[in-house]
Structure 1
Amino acid sequence: MSDAPGSDRFQRHEGGRHSTPVAVVTAVDAVLRDALVASLLLDTAGAVALRYEVEARSSSLRRVIVAADGVVEDELVDLDHPCVSCAMREDAVPVLTRLAHLPAISAIVLAPPLSADPSIVVGTLRPHQDSWHLAAAASAVGLEAVRGDLLGEDTLAERGLQWAAGDSRSVGEALAAQIEYADLLVLDGDPAGPGAELVEHLRAPEQDLVVGPYSLDAGTLLGRRLDHLAGLRRRDARCVEPYGGPTQHGTWTLDLSSARPFHPRRLLENIEDLGAGRLRERGRFWVPDRPDSICQWDGAGGQVSIGAVWRAGRDLPTTRLVVTGIEAADAERVRAAFGRSLLTEREWADGLAPWLGVEDHLSPWLGERDARV
């Protein structure tokens, strides 16, 4: 492979040292992911794919190394703990290093198990870059299925896509993490259809789009440097922004914001109206009995996760939820529930003193008030 034309077109030399580009490709659809990986291998002389699959009957991973002309390695890997970070740290790092030192290999496409969160994959790999570097993160998205995958109620366990028995995530949660982190989205399907419209409402302007897994030029993916911090910012509830998009197929986005906090008891009363239905919701909120905490709101397909994640600074936090959906009635329900959950103007005018020492209604979800976030 080393003598093939163009085999070194993605190799980098920094400070006189060779560095092999590594692209991370994620998806929840095996057929789409494998089609994208195969296209990249055929388009890139000297490229190999490092693919991992979860073995459902054990805590092992199946590691497969594939070149354009066939399978190079196929082995089971036993892990101390069946988690993404362990798999990347214990096995992917040494394998990437081994492959990067082979002169015949010009580039590596890393395909972690379906449903993997790319921010965790990349965050684990970044400190170990040396003979290889992270070039890009791509998310492969099937447009015919994306509305059901993102906004439906299916869990990873129901689809056989969970990492381990304790992986209770929904398909929507996993796919949203992939779409929001990736710097490049590869779409398969009608670019003018309802699925593409939904993606437009969720993607940031700086994220590149390619339509068709066979249309992606390898140089677009392998000839860049992955901006991990930009990906994390897109996923950070403190930085959430409404991107909007076309509405021909009924997709809508609400930007709900207020300086006022949620009333803890009324939040619990309204949480179903706020979070139920075919929605993607991201944002932050605070409650008056813990003004030093910024709480995260993350919902997809009717599942909502909340938690006290960050310490507030010297200024009081703000409340902001960005909600995207496809059914008109949901928009009005969510908007009304948001308003009912906030402190009223009179309650807000009384300040925070009345909240000192009150019963903590949200401790089962946010932790104890004196716990560090």
Structure 2
Amino acid sequence: MTGLDRPGVERVIARIRAADPDAVVVHHDLTDVARGLVRRRVRDRDTDTWTEIGLAHGCVSCTLREDLLPTLLSLAGRTRRVVLHLDPALEPEQVCWALRHVPVAGMVLAELVDLRGVVTAVDAGTWLDDATGDADLAGRGLAGLPDDERTLAQVAVAHAEFADLLMHTGTADAWAHARTDAVLARLAPTAVRTRLAEVDDDLVLLRRAHPQARRGTPDQVHGPLLRGAPPLAPECGARLLVFSARRPFHPDRLHEAFDLLLDGVVRVRGRVWLATRPDDVLWLESAGQALRIGGAGEWLAGRDAEAWERVPAERRALAALGWHPRFGDRAQDVVVLTHALDADGLDAVDAGLRAALLTDAELAAGEATWRALPDPFGLRHTDPCGEPAVPESGRTRAEES
């Protein structure tokens, strides 16, 4: 259970507990994390217990791994339903990844529990502004350590994009609700969207979900970018641009085109390849006014049979189906979700990205010439520009294995 609308989150939790009075609610409050303090709250039918926890190694992730996972392990088998009430500064994808991959007492929790999915509370009166702005977490009173550079928009988008159930909990007017719902339909097309007043027991307990519901499973780098078949027609100002090309980007011109991917844009995500790095898959994503690009493994083009065998069968099939005689599986595939661009504005984004591709003359010059082109990107790059940095271990999108 997550969301920026704290009162709305509490109302949804109350609804879940009404549907299943035996549910146990576990919450780690990060309000005082900057002072090295995390508070764990456990609620059940009869008790409401708070426990103070020190910040392990000065790291929120370590603290949650060393406390949240053992707490859940202790509850497994003793209660039928556990509701993880996430602090609004946490992103559900990272928590779900830990449940599926981080061992505790020699096992991963996903082997012991049925991860039903993510419920996100959304206040349509504020969510779209939060998801498209440039405010930092502190400006909204959210917890964060000094090195946490995420924006409020990144967190708002992460909450909604990973949801299986999007619960409208605010009191927005009809137009604000329609605009927000149109964006959410394209951002999280496999999430059921409803109002708290209209939800039934099966839905709030995630007994019913979209056939392609995530249920805590992160996307793969080479998975479909239009997962769940979102509506492509414009609605209430929300529009999707699907950009595809087979030739590489000129690094300098792509960097210049980034300005087109910020104003009026909710979300950008996709795979790109730069002429200076013909072997590398780069992952591009943005939320609001923050955009970043980082390494995500290698293309299959030019790799041996063993490398092909190490990737999922779906990726091998897609690579083979779209194989280019010169470029192999290398391609540009980017999806842009906008909320404040008309058709001409969307065309300008498409034109700007196409202008960033290598020209025919540059393409004919060959890879040796491409590698010598000026490249403003480090291994990880954020816009607005900062110092290029090596990706943090475990925080970039990992290559499939």
- Smaller-chain TM-score bracket: 0.7 to 0.9
C-alpha displacement of 1:231: 3.5
The Cα offsets for residues 346-370 of structure 1, whole Å up to 9 and x where unpaired, read as 322443232244554323646799x
2:180 is aligned, of 174, 195, 201, to 195
C-alpha displacement of 1:110: 0.7
C-alpha displacement of 1:41: 0.9
Within the alignment, does 1:288 sit opposite 2:272 as a pair?
no
1:59 is aligned, of 17, 36, 45, to 36
CA-based RMSD of the aligned residues comes to 3.0
User: Is the 2:247–2:357 contact (alpha carbons within 8 Å) kept by the matching residues of 1?
Assistant: yes
Residue type of the partner of 2:196? G
C-alpha displacement of 1:299: 0.7
2:69 is aligned, of 93, 104, 127, to 93
User: Is the 1:254–1:322 contact (alpha carbons within 8 Å) kept by the matching residues of 2?
Assistant: yes
Gaps of 5+ in 2: 101-107, 302-327, 382-387, 391-397
Within the alignment, does 1:339 sit opposite 2:354 as a pair?
yes
Aligned to 1:22: none
C-alpha displacement of 1:211: 2.4
User: Is the 2:97–2:216 contact (alpha carbons within 8 Å) kept by the matching residues of 1?
Assistant: no
The structure that is strand-richer by fraction is: 1
| Distance change >3 Å, CA 261–CA 95, structure 1 → 2 | same
Identity %: 26
The Cα offsets for residues 84-121 of structure 1, whole Å up to 9 and x where unpaired, read as 5323321112222333354xx43111112113111210
Give the number of aligned pairs.
342
Aligned to 1:325: 338
In the aligned structure 1, how far is the partner of 2:251 from the partner of 2:131?
Answer: 28
2:296 is aligned, of 302, 309, 330, to 309
Corresponding residue SS for 1:231: coil
Aligned to 1:125: 99
The Cα offsets for residues 246-290 of structure 1, whole Å up to 9 and x where unpaired, read as 634211111111112210111222322333444311112111121
The Cα offsets for residues 133-178 of structure 1, whole Å up to 9 and x where unpaired, read as 3222222222222211211222212112243221111122112222
C-alpha displacement of 1:237: 6.6
Aligned to 1:212: 196
Aligned to 1:43: 19
In the aligned structure 1, how far is the partner of 2:274 from the partner of 2:177?
Answer: 41
User: Is the 2:166–2:194 contact (alpha carbons within 8 Å) kept by the matching residues of 1?
Assistant: yes
| Distance change >3 Å, CA 182–CA 312, structure 1 → 2 | same
Gaps of 5+ in 1: 1-24
Corresponding residue SS for 1:361: coil
In the aligned structure 2, how far is the partner of 1:262 from the partner of 1:220?
Answer: 45
Residue type of the partner of 1:259? R
Aligned to 1:272: 259
Within the alignment, does 1:160 sit opposite 2:136 as a pair?
no
More off after superposition, 34-43 vs 215-224: 215-224
In the aligned structure 2, how far is the partner of 1:212 from the partner of 1:26?
Answer: 14
In the aligned structure 1, how far is the partner of 2:167 from the partner of 2:200?
Answer: 8
Corresponding residue SS for 1:291: coil
| Distance change >3 Å, CA 236–CA 207, structure 1 → 2 | farther
2:286 is aligned, of 290, 295, 299, to 299
The Cα offsets for residues 37-59 of structure 1, whole Å up to 9 and x where unpaired, read as 11111221211211121133412
User: Is the 2:202–2:208 contact (alpha carbons within 8 Å) kept by the matching residues of 1?
Assistant: no
Within the alignment, does 1:221 sit opposite 2:198 as a pair?
no
Aligned to 1:13: none
